[in-house]
Amino acid sequence: MRIFVLFFLLAVFSVSYGKNIKLKDLPEELSNYYPPKSDKMEFVELMHLLSTSMTGVIANVREGDWQNAEKWAKRLQENYLKIGKMVKKWDKLLKKDDMEKLVKSVESKNKMQTLGFVQKVGKSCVQCHKSYRLSAKIKFHSPDFEGMNIEDPVSGLDYSLKDYMKAMTNDMKMMRIYLIDGKKSKARKSGFDFIKRFDGMTQMCGDCHTDKLSEKVYFGIEAEKRITALREAVVNGELTKINKQLKWLSQNNCSKCHNVHQTPYLLKEKFGGK
């Protein structure tokens, strides 16, 4: 529910202030430097080298250490030009002349000119980041849940994560519907199925969250107390108590995971996977 509210607010913001959040399509060849095609993360490493090199230039120019400033300027130029070699589409966006002038200004020990060309080259980095960084974060750095299966403790079958979530959500809704309709035995069955599937989530979460802290936060003592109270309310057919425990689980378990994982996953669908 909260994710829909989020997108509604974004839509209102766009109408009210004339701004839109856009995910710009990335050049296909950029995928060569990220999983699953490459585990070396070469492009990310290049960005770190660029940032370090530029900081090295600025720091040494300000300190008057022109020898080291020249070293970092040449490293900056070398790494900067690699962008166009790795991603052909972006080669034309590079400020190559300004980059060359930056190196020459360092060699001539001209502080003002150097910092001016640093700003011009840096502006090309900022412009590219504004256009593509969010898209890259979503496409390459967000968890990919496609192909992830989880054994369903109710049916014994392997479900996709999406189908598993649908089944668990349906159990929760049908438990309430059956109780309101006076079908207590069916409500009890749906309630127990929901609890089984909720407990089964530890199997999936544990594939990535291997530390015990995550398990303690989301499936610890307090969650166990709530599940126990929910089970008792299901047995007794007490809708008010059921809703109370489900509300706590929703706010302290479901929503927290959804806010971290669901939002980027939905945005990632724009790109159709990696």
Do 76 and 165 lie in one domain? The reply is no
Residues 215 and 102 in one domain: no
Q: Which has the higher per-residue pLDDT, 219 or 97?
A: 97
pLDDT at residue 161 in the model: 84
Which percentage of the chain shows pLDDT scores above 70? 84
For the chain, how many helices (H) and strands (E)?
Answer: 13, 2
pLDDT: which is higher, 221 or 171: 171
Domain boundary among 82, 110, 141: 141
| Alpha-carbon separation of residue 119 from 47, 159, 272 (angstroms) | 17, 52, 36
Q: Which two structure tokens, joined as six digits, stand for 135?
A: 């898209």
Residue 55 confidence (pLDDT) above 90? yes
Range of the domain at 74: 23-141
d(CA 128, CA 111): 26
155 and 135 in a common domain? no
The closest alpha carbon to 33, from 24, 46, 49, 50, belongs to 46
Boundary of a domain, candidates 83, 109, 141: 141
Are 109 and 197 part of one and the same domain? Answer: no
pTM for this prediction = 0.65
Mean pLDDT value across residues 246-250: 88
Residue 106 φ then ψ, to 5°? -70, -45
From 141, 160, 191, give the residue that closes a domain. 141
Q: Does residue 238 form part of some domain?
A: yes
Q: Looking at the 3D structure of the chain, how many domains does it have?
A: 2
Does residue 93 sit in the same domain as residue 190? no
Q: Which DSSP symbol is given to 157? A: S
CB 178 within 8 A of CB 193: no
What is the rounded average pLDDT for all residues in the chain?
85
Same domain, 100 and 172: no
Q: Report the C-alpha gap between 106 and 238 in whole angstroms.
A: 77
Given a cut of 50, is residue 266 above it in pLDDT?
A: yes
Give the model's confidence band at 19: pLDDT under 50 very low, under 70 low, under 90 confident, else very high.
Answer: low
CA–CA dist 191, 170 (Å, integer): 10
pLDDT of residue 256: 75
Note whether 188 and 257 are same-domain residues: yes
184 lies in the same domain as 98? no
Q: Are residues 34 and 84 in the same domain?
A: yes
Partners of 160 in the β-ladder: 149
Residues paired with residue 149 on neighbouring β-strands, in sequence order:
160
Range from 8-17, 91-100, 188-197 carrying the lowest mean pLDDT: 8-17
CATH code (residue 34):
1.20.120
Residue 137 shares a structural domain with residue 27? yes
Residue 10 lies in a domain: no
Any idea which residue has 């004339």 for tokens? Answer: 18
